[in-house]
Structure 1
Amino acid sequence: MRRCGITVAVIERRAERDSRSRALTVHPRTLETFASRGVHRSFTGEGLPIPGGYFAVLESRLDFRRLASPFPYTLALPQERTEALLEQQALERGADILRGHEVTGLTDGPGHVRVHIQAPDGPATLEAAYLVGCDGARSTVRTCAGIDFPGTPSTLLGWLGDVVVDQPPAPGYSYFGPAGSLMAVLMPGGVHRLVGITPRDLTTTWPGELTMDELRENVVAMAGTDFGMRDPVWLSRYGNATRLAARYRSGRVFLAGDAAHQYFPAGGVGMNVGIQDAANLAWRLAAVLNGWAPAGLLDTYHAERHPVGADLTETSRAQVALMTAFSPEGLSLRGLLSRLIGTLPDLNDHLAAQIGSLAVTYPPTTPCAHPLTGTRAPDLALGHTGLFGLLRADSYLLLDLTSAATRSLAHLARPGLRVRTGTPHLPPVGWSGIRAALIRPDGHVAWAAADGDDATLVRSLTAVLAGTHRN
C-alpha cells in the first residue's frame, strides 16, 4: 500500500520482535508475491531452498521441483527473519510501525473507522479509512467487529522444542510409528527443532507447560536417543482448534491471516496464507483509496479469500487425521497414501501445488470467461524479463501478446492500467494462442482472450474494465 502512496500505520502490541519463530518455511507462491514487488532476493539470498515438503509427515515427501514456478522449492527461513525483512521494507517505504501499542476497541463510522488503543503513554485514538485485523486467532479486532469465528475445539496437543543437540540426526530426519510422530529440523545458530505428537497427546486435558524431561522422554521413545539435547531455547505446546471467520469484512473492518483462520500448523502454510491474504487485500484498498477502482472491488476480498481459508482448514484437518493414525489400520492407510504419492506424479503435483498455494484460483464473475480467468499468472518470459518483474502494486497490467491488437488496446491505458506488448517465449500449457490478458496487481488473471477480431476483443475487455475501473 505504501508503494501506492497510501498512509499506513501498523499497531503492534509487542515492543520488540519475538525472537521465537513459529513458522520456518516460505512457500513458492509467497516468493512469487515477493518477486512481483522486486523484493524476493533478500529472502532467497538468506534462506535455504529445499526441493520437497511434507504432507502429514508421510514417508514419501512431495517433490516441489516439478512445480511450474521460478521458485520450485520451499525456502527454509525462520519467521523472525521473515518478519525482520518485511519490517525493514515497510519502514523504508514510510510505514508507521507503532510498537508497544495495543488495540482495545474500535468504532466503525461513515467514511472512517476509529481505533482505540493503549499506547505506552496512555489511551489514544487513531482514525483511518479502513482497518485490517491481523492480530491472530484471539483477534481483538475480529471480536470488536462482531464477526463470528465458528469451528471445532482442540482435540490434541502437539509439542515442539528448540534445543541444542550434541549428536544431531541426519538432515530431514522424521519418524512415524505406534510411539508417535517426530520431525527434526536444523535451524540457524545450530539449534534443532524437535516437533511431534504421541498417542497420549490426543487429549483435551492441559498437562502443563512442556518440560525438558518430557521432551527427552518423547524423543527417546521414538528415536531411541535424545540426540544429546540440552540448552532449550523454546519449549511449547499447541492444539488443533480449527476455526474460520464467518466474514472477512464488516463495514470498514477486514480480517487477514490468523485473525481469519485458525488451524493445526501442518505443512507450514499458515504464515504464507496470511501473507497472500494481505496481498489480495492491499491492492484493492489502494485502488479504491486512490480513486481508480469502485468501492465494490472491496466486496470481492471475502468472496475470493474465504474459500481459500475453507480449503486450508479442510486440508489441515485431513493431515491431522493422518498424523494421529497410530493404530495398525492407520499405519496401513499412511503406507498406502505414501506409495501413491511416490508413484503417481499427478497426485504429487496436486498436493505440492496446493500446499505451495500455486493452485489457488478465484472464480470468475461471468460464466463465459476464459478458463484462465482467476488463475495465477505464470512468470511469462517477455523479452528480457519475466511477468513478475513487470507487475506493480498500483495498476493492472494489460498484455498484448501477439502485437496484432496494439493499436486497438493502447488507447485503453488509464490510471490503474498499463499496457505491455510482447510475445512470450515458450508459453506454458494453456497460454499458447492467447492474444491478450489482463493481470491484476496480485498476479492473478482478470481477463484473457484467445480469438475474435480486434473489435470483439476490445468490447470484451471494455466490459471487464467497467467493473474494475472508474472512468
Structure 2
Amino acid sequence: MTYDVVIAGAGPVGLFLACELRLADLSVLVLEQAGDPDSPLKRLPFGRRGLSVPTIEAFYRRGLLNDIAAPQRAKDDSASGSASAAGQRVQQPRRQAGHFAGIPFDDDNVDTSRWPYRLLGPAGTSMAADMERIESVLTARASAMGVEIRRGVGVEDLDQSEEGVTIRAGGESFRGRWLVGCDGGRSIVRKAGGFEFVGTDPEFTGYSVQVGIADPDKLSPGRNYTPTGMYFQSQPGTIAMAAFDGGAFHRTQPITLERVQAVLRHISGTDVTLTALRLATTWTDRAYQATAYRKGRVLLAGDAAHIHSPLGGQGLNLGLGDAMNLGWKLAATLRGDAPAGLLDSYSSERHPVGAQVLDWSRAQVALMRPSRHARALEAIIRDLIGTRDGATYFAERVWGVSLRYDLGDSHPLVGRSAPDFEFIDGPKLGELLGNGKGLFLDFDARPSLQALTSRWSGRITYVGRDAKDRLGLSAVLVRPDGFVAWASEASPDHEEAAQVASRWFGEPEPLSA
C-alpha cells in the first residue's frame, strides 16, 4: 500500500500533523521508534510545558483545547473552591506571566492595548499542560480520525523518487507519496534525507533531577546564579542545573547519584548531600537548524528541523506551529489544487520563526553564563523587563503574540492570527475552523462576495454575518491555519479578493454560463 503521507515520529508534532492531514481525508501512517509512549519525563514536574498563544489558538480552532486543558482546569477549580480561576487571578495582581532566563515579568504590567486586533475568547494568552496529556489527547484524536500508528517501528533509511518515498523501518518497507520527519533532534529522516543542519555548539550540560536531600537547608529555593553555573529548585528535591562544561557530559556517561551530587556541590558552592536519585535526564543548549525544511518529497517539522535548549519552553510550541502551517499546504498539494509555490511557503514562513526562537534561546544562555559580564547584563534586562514597555515586549515574544508572517501586504492584520470574532447570530470564528478549510468573512453579507467565494467551493467557507466587534473591518480572508491572508476596511475590491484567494487556494472553478 502507498500512503499519501508517512510521518516519522508519534510525538505531539507528528500526531497533530497527522490530524491536520486527515481533515483532507488523506491516508496517513505514523511510524514511532518507541514501543511504549509512557515515560516519567512526560509527567509532572518535568513534563510540564507552557503553551503559547499560537498553540492555544491552534488547539482551540481544531476542537482540542478543552480536552487538553481539562486536568489544569480541574486543578484550578479544586484550588479555588467555588471561585473561578479568573477570580483567583484577580486576587493575585502580581501574577508572574512568564520569564526570560529566569527574570520574570508580571501579568498586570503587560499593556494588551497594543494588540488592537486581538479579541478576548476561549483561547487565552497562556496555559500549561503536561506532555503525557497532550500526547494522549492527540493520539486519541488521530486514532478516531483513522490515522494508522505503528509503534516500535523506527525509520532506518529512505529512498525517494519523483513519485514518492520508500521508507525502511523495523525490518519492513513502507511507501508514501510524501514523508515528513517529526522524529526529534536526532532525526534519522533528516540525516538519511541529506538535509544540512547548522548552528552553534553547546556551552553547558543541563540536568533535570529529582533527588532526596539529607540537608535541604543548604540549597536556596528558586533560581540561583553562582560563579560556577546555575541551579533552580522549584520544590525541595526537584532541581535543574546548568554546568558550563561545553555539553561534555550529555549522553556520554551514565547519570549516577555521585555525579549529580558532585555537579550540584560545584555549582551551589555547598557540601550538600544527596541520599537518592529518583529521576534524572540531561540536555544542552546546542542550537541547530536545517537550512531548508524540504528536499524533494521529504519534509521536516518540529525538533527534526530545529533544536535548541528548553529554556523558556519554546520547542513544543515551535513544532506545533510547524504542523499547523504545513498540514493544509501539503493536503492541497496532494489534492492537486495547490497554487504554485504553496508548499514552498511552509519553509519560507516557518524557517525565520525557527531562527528567531534559536536566537531567543542563545540570548538566554548569554545571561546565564557564570561571569561578571553576564550578571551586569542581567541587571539591565531585569530593569527593562520591570517596565511596562519591557514587560509588554517580552510578553509578545514569550506568548507568541508578535508572530506575523510576511505575506507581502501592508495591512497590519495580514499575516497575523485572525481575531476571534464573535458573530451576532452565530458562533465565534475559532469554532468555524475545525474542518480545516479557509474562511471568507463578509460582515455586510454581500451577494456578490458570496458568489465570488462559491468559486472555491470545498476550499473556502463563506461567512456572511456581522460581528459584535468587527474592528473596523469590512471583509477578511482567513487561511485554514487561522492566519489572515487579506483584509479590507472599505468596500472590498472583488478583483483583489479573487487574486489573493487564488494565491492561497488555487485556481477557482470557472464561472457558470
State the SS of the aligned residue for 1:409: helix
1-structure distance, mates of 2:340, 2:57: 27
State the SS of the aligned residue for 1:385: coil
Cα distance per residue 1:324-358 (max 9 Å; x no partner): 2x333322221221121111x23222222222222
Establish whether residue 318 from structure 1 lines up as the match of residue 345 from structure 2: no
Map 1:290-439 to 2 at 5 A: 290-294=335-339, 296-324=341-369, 326-343=370-387, 345-365=388-408, 368-383=409-424, 384-403=426-445, 405-413=446-454, 414-427=457-470, 432-439=471-478
Cα distance per residue 1:89-123 (max 9 Å; x no partner): 111111111101111111211222221212xxxx2
2:68 is aligned with what amino acid?
F
Map 1:205-224 to 2 at 5 A: 205-206=248-249, 208-216=253-261, 222=268
1-structure distance, mates of 2:428, 2:489: 21
RMSD value over aligned CA atoms?
Answer: 2.9
- 1:381–1:387 CA contact under 8 A, matched in 2: yes
2-structure distance, mates of 1:277, 1:37: 15
Establish whether residue 2 from structure 1 lines up as the match of residue 22 from structure 2: yes
Structure 1's unaligned 5+ residue stretches are none
State the SS of the aligned residue for 1:131: strand
Cα distance per residue 1:395-428 (max 9 Å; x no partner): 110111233x34433442212110112333245x
Cα distance per residue 1:244-265 (max 9 Å; x no partner): 1011001111100011101111
- 1:393–1:442 CA contact under 8 A, matched in 2: no
Per the alignment, do residues 332 and 361 of structure 1 end up closer, same or farther by CA in structure 2, a change over 3 Å counting? same
Establish whether residue 265 from structure 1 lines up as the match of residue 343 from structure 2: no
Partner of 1:470: 507
Give the TM-score taking structure 1 as reference length.
0.86
How many residues align? The count is 448
Per the alignment, do residues 250 and 340 of structure 1 end up closer, same or farther by CA in structure 2, a change over 3 Å counting? same
Per the alignment, do residues 27 and 369 of structure 1 end up closer, same or farther by CA in structure 2, a change over 3 Å counting? closer
2-structure distance, mates of 1:279, 1:192: 37
Give the TM-score taking structure 2 as reference length.
0.80
Map 1:130-169 to 2 at 5 A: 130-163=178-211
Query: Of 261, 283, 297, which residue of structure 1 is paired with 2:328?
Result: 283
Partner of 2:222: 173
Establish whether residue 24 from structure 1 lines up as the match of residue 48 from structure 2: yes
- 1:51–1:64 CA contact under 8 A, matched in 2: no
- 1:64–1:73 CA contact under 8 A, matched in 2: no
- 1:159–1:210 CA contact under 8 A, matched in 2: no
1:64: how far off? 9.2
1-structure distance, mates of 2:466, 2:162: 47
1:151 is aligned with what amino acid?
G
1-structure distance, mates of 2:405, 2:216: 44
2:379 is aligned with what amino acid?
G
Structure 2's unaligned 5+ residue stretches are 1-20, 77-94, 113-117, 509-513
2-structure distance, mates of 1:90, 1:295: 29
1-structure distance, mates of 2:449, 2:55: 35
- 2:438–2:479 CA contact under 8 A, matched in 1: yes
State the SS of the aligned residue for 1:105: strand
1:285 is aligned with what amino acid?
L
Identity percentage of aligned residues: 30
1:44 is aligned with what amino acid?
A
1-structure distance, mates of 2:220, 2:480: 38
State the SS of the aligned residue for 1:54: strand
2-structure distance, mates of 1:109, 1:64: 55
Cα distance per residue 1:342-394 (max 9 Å; x no partner): 11x232222222222222111114xx552321111122222353221111343
